[in-house]
Amino acid sequence: MISVRSLPARLVPLDAVALLLALAAPLVAQTNTAAPGLTAALVRLLDGIPGFTAHLDVRQVDAQGKETLNAPMKFSFLNAKLRGEIEIAKLKATEMPALAGSAAKSVGLETVVMLVRPDLRESQQYYPAFKACIHAPLGDEELVPLKKSVKLSKQPVARETVDGRPCVKNKVTITDADGVRYAADVWFAPDLKNFPLKVKAADGGGSLELHFTNIKLEKPDAKIFDLPAGTTKYEDPADLTQAVLKKFLGDAFGGK
């Protein structure tokens, strides 16, 4: 195994690569799994909307009201497939060092693409700069709520304005066959085919909020949900880190 500490001083960018890959994978995944079942619940909420693109802000707050995650992204949806494109420089989290954005740019790791593919029972984190991907199976907590037999109930509780748009706030509950319930407050916009502009769910003692803006109710190109040809897939983020470090070493010394 390559040790970053043992590398020559002139290869300092390797430190940034190892750090960013170690941090980016769990932080990007956190935007999808911070509240169990939320992704699947969101797909059910979008019944009747086959596809769209938007800007999405994912914000997580702990029990003390402190923000622990703020992840703005370009978001696309098509027939239950989800795609989020995140710029590391804009990702804020308590675990992310202050200079992570600058470090990301210096080593070509500005962007991470998150893909959720229920049809493949898989989630994917794609790194365009390295043409590499970390993939993991989707658990039942993400897939079960997608089934049409699962009960979804909405209870209107208020009329509120979100981003200047009239919305109906609902208490939404999804209950699976085992009686497991996923609950959230959802703000639906009637003039956007009842699009859920904002979703807020409990997460431990805190909360996780999804907020959509710049919504375009047009189907995105299906190709953007597929990994590019030649992408190398890894199950363990550590294996990807090692592969990238070896590549940097090879490039630095003229090898392979």
pTM comes to: 0.80
Q: Among 251, 204, 198, 224, which Cα is nearest to 124's?
A: 224
CB 109 within 8 A of CB 101: no
What are 34-56's pLDDT values in tens digits?
444 566 677 888 888 999 999 99
End-to-end CA distance of the chain: 17
Enter the tokens of residue 105. 């740019």
Confirm if 61 and 202 have CB atoms less than 8 A apart: no
Quick: pLDDT tens for 66-116.
988 888 999 999 998 999 998 877 877 776 655 555 556 656 667 889 888
Q: Are 27 and 86 in contact (CB under 8 A)?
A: no
Amino acid (1-letter code) at residue 102: S
Residue 137 has pLDDT above 80, yes or no: yes
Q: How many CB atoms lie within 10 A of CB 193?
A: 12
In this structure, what DSSP letter does residue 49 have? -
What are 84's strand-pairing partners?
75, 114
